[in-house]
Amino acid sequence: YFVIGAGSGGIASARRAASYGAKVAVVEKSRLGGTCVNVGCVPKKVMWNAASIAETLHDMQHYGFSGYDSDAIAFDWNFIKTNRDAYIERLNGIYDRNMQNSGVTKLLGTASFGNSVGREDGEEESTTTTTSSTVAGKTITVTDPDGVTTTSYTAKHILIATGGYPEIPSDGQGIKENCITSD
């Protein structure tokens, strides 16, 4: 079983397949966890919580609290950013450990579909830049982050779990100019 994309859906599927005894590999070009963990939900909520605290401090006198001195309150951008990034790295590590504990092989790189140059007996055949292993089924070529080294894999089942990208309609009504995305 081969999974392309290590967001929450890809990882969940890979771990489930491994729990049923499948030999599983997941390829990801970046950090584990996908958009939500790395650039979407999680970092947004950390920053939103910081902003919410600032707003609460600003409005506290309207709710019977006293002692607020706006000059005495300081905000440290580097502190929140460093801690936000550390939290995301912790989540990346949890995903990594969970995959390891489930027996899922993690591959770093990009995947494409192509022809295998491997051998039918399952033995590996090496060249200077390519290592291939062919069993039966469909072939996936993984290009390492160096952009040169490739490894080909075959799998009976392949899940493409690469997520999606937001599309903002350009209908001329100002939507595009007034929208933001996590991308």
pLDDT value, residue 135: 37
- Give the whole-angstrom CA distance, residue 23 versus residue 1: 6
pLDDT value, residue 94: 98
Residue 105 lies in a domain: yes
Q: Would the pLDDT of 91 be above 60?
A: yes
Mean pLDDT value across residues 158-167:
88
pLDDT value, residue 137: 56
Mean pLDDT value across residues 50-64:
90
Residue 182 lies in a domain: no
**HSE value, Cβ hemisphere, 13 Å, CA-based, for 131:** 4
pLDDT value, residue 66: 86
pLDDT value, residue 129: 35
Residue 33 lies in a domain: yes
The SS3 assignment for 1 reads: coil
- Condensed to tens digits (0 to 9), the pLDDT of residues 32-49 reads 999 999 999 999 999 999
Q: Name the H helices within 20-76.
A: 34-38, 41-59
Mean pLDDT value across residues 72-96:
96
The pLDDT mean for the chain works out to 85
The count of structural domains within the chain is 1
DSSP state, residue 111: E
CATH number of the domain bearing residue 98: 3.50.50.60
- Give the whole-angstrom CA distance, residue 159 versus residue 14: 9
**HSE value, Cβ hemisphere, 13 Å, CA-based, for 24:** 25
Residue 149 lies in a domain: yes
Mean pLDDT value across residues 28-35:
95
- Single-letter code of the amino acid located at 117: V
Token pair in block for residue 19:
């729990």
Output b/e per residue, 12-39; b: 16+ Cβ within 10 A: ebbbebbeeebebbbbbbebbbbbbbbb
Neighbours of 92 (CB within 10 A): 17
Token pair in block for residue 33:
């966890």
Is residue 15 within 8 A of residue 99, CB to CB? The reply is yes
Residue 53 lies in a domain: no
- Condensed to tens digits (0 to 9), the pLDDT of residues 92-150 reads 999 999 999 999 999 999 999 865 444 333 333 333 333 344 434 588 999 999 999 99
Residue 109 lies in a domain: yes
pTM: 0.76
The SS3 assignment for 3 reads: strand
Residue 42 lies in a domain: no
Is residue 132 within 8 A of residue 124, CB to CB? The reply is yes
Residue 54 lies in a domain: no
Residue 122, domain extent: 2-37+89-160
Number of H helices, E strands in the chain: 4, 9
